[in-house]
Structure 1
Amino acid sequence: MRSLLATLALIACAVYATIPLFWFTLHPFTKHWRARGRHSFKLILPLWLAYIVIAIAVLYPWRNQSLYTTPYAYIPGGLLVLTGLLLYVLSSRGFTHVQLSGLAEVEPDRHAQRLVTTGIRARVRHPIYLGHLCELLGWTICFGTVSLIALSAFAIVTGYFMLRLEDRELEDRFGPEYTAYRQRVPAIIPRVFLSS
């Protein structure tokens, strides 16, 4: 049973860990993808699926090699997974699937771009990415496998660069409004208390 769950965790974490690769495929080349419009996703999504499959294939041999095995790891790991799910729910308020998917970047004339700074985004600028990180770390802590540790490390490194580039892109798009928001609200570690 543990082996099956570790395999399912590998698949789920391969999706989370390759999100920065999806971002790097879309955002730096938005002018190219805009020329294709919505049809660009017919290439972008299969590329992302390829990233996921490659990650799984490379790490599959280590899916059951654990650095530790203890049922106590399920408590902090499970709490992180639940935190990630809660962050997804909170992030969806005031934020559409169009904004999340990148469709707004590909079809800017069809989808209004607006800066969302309320709700959970008043405490953390990138709550969805924080949710991904919580999911990744939660599953990694639960199973402690070499494959999940590798995926988490990969996601943290690529996610760092993705966030820096995304902040720069949002600053170009929204100007001083985003600059002020960026100075006021942390990127990933949420602010517990809101100043008045």
Structure 2
Amino acid sequence: MSDVYDYGVWTMSIMSIVFFTIFAVGFFLPRKKREWRALGVFEAFIVALYAEMYGFPLTIYILSSFFGIKIPFIHLNGHLWASIFGLGEEGAMLELGMGCLVMVAGMSRVALGGWKIHRADDKLITDGVYGIVRHPQYLGFILITTGMLIHWPTLLTLVMFPILVVAYVHLAKKESKELAERFTEEYKSYRNLVPAFIPIRANRSSKTTLKG
């Protein structure tokens, strides 16, 4: 095991948490209590992730101490999929690149969705990213956290991820119900044409577990 210890950089942890907090609040624009609660789940995920990424590597400590998986406390080894499967530095860089691409895809959906909401003028939004899926911002948050799990998985975030997905799917269903009551036939037509989360033009008569 190497004596190098690349962690304890709490300034980077705080800066990363603050950045994603400002991004999420600024573009998601939560107004209702349930939206703030769902945002809180995302915030908890972010805090757990970056506290380990730059602060204290709890997952590496547990794997090394209790499961006999010896992973040096070098920052590059935090890309755990590459470390566990022995893929080396190239594998770690590939893991980082794939994760960042998924994160950027998610962030773009949150940002574009927020921009459309800001310009909606109290009307039903059916174009732009909302012409691809009905809940682009919720999909965006799921993609952001998926990307984070790809390039920097931790035990805590692996546990929290399904909770986050369930929270956003539940929130999407609530939102769909409210929009259906408010816009009636207009929303019914929109719902029949545009999927909730997965941007695939499928047979709308068949129901899926992600239909919101």
Deviations along 1:59-96, whole A, 9 cap, x unmatched? 96896415834213212211101111222343244320
What residue in structure 1 maps to residue 189 of structure 2?
A: 180
TM-score of the aligned structures, taking structure 1 as reference length:
0.61
| Paired amino acid for 1:73 | E
Q: CA RMSD in A?
A: 4.2
SS at match of 1:94: helix
81-90 vs 149-158, which moves further:
81-90
Residue of structure 1 aligned with 2:147, choices 128, 138, 150: 138
- Structure 1 distance, partners of 2:195, 2:111, is 19
Which of the residues 147, 159, 162 maps onto 1:153?
162
Contact 1:10 1:148 in 2 (8 A): no
Q: Is the 8 A contact 1:93 1:119 kept in 2?
A: no
Aligned mates of 2:16, 2:162 — CA distance in 1: 14
8 Å Cα contact 1:84/1:135 also seen in 2: yes
How far is the alpha carbon of 1:114 from its aligned partner? 0.8
Instruction: Give the count of matched residue pairs.
Output: 157
Cα deviation, 1:90-116, whole Å, max 9, x if unaligned, reads: 32443208x7xxxxxxxxxxxx52101
Structure 1 unmatched ranges of 5 or more: 17-21, 28-43, 100-111
Measured against aligned partners, the alpha-carbon deviations of 1:104-156 in whole angstroms (never above 9, x if no partner) come to: xxxxxxxx521010111111111111111111111111111112212321111
Q: Who is 1:86 aligned against? A: 108
| Equivalent runs, 1:13-92 vs 2, <5 Å | 25-26=33-34, 52=43, 56=47, 64-65=58-59, 68-70=80-82, 71=92, 72-92=94-114
Q: Hey, what's the Cα distance between the residues in 2 that align with 1:120 and 1:9? A: 29
Q: Could you say if the C-alpha distance between residues 127 and 49 of structure 1 is closer, same or farther in structure 2, counting changes exceeding 3 Å?
A: closer
* Cα distance change, pair 80–178 in 1 and its aligned pair in 2 (3 A): same
What secondary structure sits across from 2:59 in the alignment?
A: coil
* CA pair 8-140 structure 1, distance change in 2 beyond 3 A: farther
1:175 is paired with a residue whose SS is helix
Higher-Rg member (1/2):
2
- Runs ≥4 residues deviating over 3 A: 1-12, 48-57, 59-64
CA distance in 2 between counterparts of 1:169 and 1:186 reads 17
Relative to structure 1, is the Cα distance of residues 160 and 92 closer, same or farther in structure 2, using a 3 angstrom cutoff?
Answer: closer
Q: Which amino acid aligns with 2:33?
A: T
Q: Which amino acid aligns with 2:147?
A: G
Alignment match of 1:123 (pick from 132, 154, 166)? 132
Which consecutive unaligned segments of at least 5 residues does structure 2 have?
A: 1-5, 25-29, 64-79, 83-91, 203-212
Q: Is the 8 A contact 1:10 1:147 kept in 2?
A: no
